[in-house]
Chain A
Amino acid sequence: MKPTGTIHDLGYKRYGGARLSSATRWLVILRNQIATGWQTWWRFKASLGLAVLTTFIAGGVMFILRDKGIRDFGGNFAATMADAALPKSIEWYTRAAFLVSLTIGSRVVAGDVQSGAFTFYFARSVRPRDYVLGKLGGMAGLLMLIMLAGPLVLALSRLGLSDNTEQLVDSLHLIPKAIAIGLIGTVVFAAVPLAFSSMFSNVRYAMALWAAYYLVFGLMVSLLGRESQSWIGALDLATALEAVAMKLFDLQLFRGRAGWVPWDAALASLAIHAVLAIAILSVQVRRAYGSGVGGAS
């Protein structure tokens, strides 16, 4: 039988070059997450601006209080205050990170489901774990600029303001501490909002519940913790982060609400939050993938 159709060779050839390993797909999602987060002023840059401002103010306070004239006048108190600038600034970096979590973090997965981008991802050879890793990594990449870079710059500034080499060497411990608190904050603010985002297919519900959890529930448990002088205040993410920062930097003054929270409970709370959040995120994404939202069926 004579064929009725003909396919003409128009020179198209299937791409036969090198392909990225499927193990690196998450990197593509990560890069895309960072790139989209960087767009427009309100998503990330405003929060970054707040973090930069915090760094400048805390650095300025540190610089002024480390001034010899001020120290001659203020004595040890001025020096202690200067050293408190770094751990106290964590409260403000946390605020900036929360702003990012509202404008980006709590929107990510819900936004992808709402806009149909889930199908776009999973119609390709992207696995749920690539998606989870990519989104988490992207958020962490953005948040590092706030939660990690700021404290690290302040720690370096403090080293630079040392009176002599001996003092500089003595202060070197600030660097790993700044990195530690920065990384903890980064992981928590990347994972928890994403988990909230994964639980709803509507951006505004995810945002509202995350905001209510962080702000309303957080303030309640923080207050309850102070009233009862118990670990319960550690359930407030901001308080827990501050409590860990105070322990790390051995801050005795200006402890505020975090002063009532045992640091080990705070650390445990942050760890549980992060692990639980990543587990929820993974299960939700896998479930969506399996149920066909991702075009798997």
Chain B
Amino acid sequence: MSEPAPKLVPSAFASLMTVAGLTWTRLLRGRALVVAVVIALLPIAYCAFAGPRVGPELFVFELLTASVLAPMFVAASIGEEIEDRTTTYLWSRPVPRWTIIAGKLVALVPVVTAVVLGSWIVANQIAWKMMPDERTMAALAIGVAALSILSAGVASLAPRHGMALSIVYILFFDSPLGVLPATIRELSMTQQIRAVSGIWSGNGELKTPLIVLAILCAIWGLIAAARIRRLEA
């Protein structure tokens, strides 16, 4: 029997985009977007209720919303694949496993960002009748990406409870860490996101929080990639 001609293996980029497309299609046909919009309405409702009393805490509410939405989309998406064993389809294909996580992030981060930014813009309009400044918008967009990567890392460590643990980690560990009166708070993602926004944290400088965020994202990204590589179906 002669050796058959070698068959093409898809490029990492092609695999990543295919996974992103798959994630998108599923997202649009599910109810996750509706649920996300309902959650994103909370800060808007707060503005409508609190009226002129609204202060910088609005940004924290928006960050909290992102802290629930990022795990709901990213961690749950990864966890569901593993729990439902649909990973057997993905992992039996000739694709590097990190592309599956990256593909999900490519598909989901823009969705969560759009929902959170939409909520932020509307809330600002209601509270102060003005567009939010670019820096807060950038901080939320970067924050969503960072929290999504963190969720992917947590989900790869504990797939069954990835969503719950991501929320708990962000809100009960990362956030309190960020308000500690010590240097260790610099390890907090939420603290760095607030520093990027220029609200309540940081000294207005942008470079350091961005670098720290990039490092934290790289660490969580590497954890996710390394862990997913070793996971068995």
Contacts and interface: CB of A to CB of B under 8 A. Distances in A.
A224 B50 contact: yes
Q: What DSSP secondary structure best describes chain A's contact surface? A: helix
B64 A215 contact: yes
Contacts of B35: 205, 208-209
Given A42-B158, A227-B50, A227-B53, A207 B164 contact: yes
Nearest to B42: A216
B20 interface: no
A43 interface: yes
Q: What DSSP secondary structure best describes chain B's contact surface? A: helix
Interface string B154-184: 0000101101110110011000000000000
B39 A204 contact: no
A223 B167 CA distance: 21
Contact of B46 (A95, A103, A220): A220
Given A40-B160, A99-B164, A212 B31 contact: no
Interface residues of B, number: 35
Most chain B C-beta atoms within 10 Å of own C-beta, residue among A202, A216, A227: A216
B126 interface: no
Interface residues of A, number: 24
A113 interface: no
A187 interface: no
Contacts of A217: 42
A102 B46 CA distance: 24
A219 B39 contact: no
A95 B172 contact: yes
Contacts of A208: 35-36, 39, 68-69, 71-72, 76, 163
A211 interface: yes
18 contacts: A42-B160, A43-B161, A99-B172, A102-B167, A102-B168, A204-B32, A204-B76, A204-B80, A204-B163, A205-B35, A208-B68, A208-B69, A208-B71, A219-B64, A220-B46, A224-B46, A224-B50, A227-B53
Interface of A: 40, 42-43, 95, 99, 102-103, 202-205, 207-209, 211-212, 215-217, 219-220, 223-224, 227
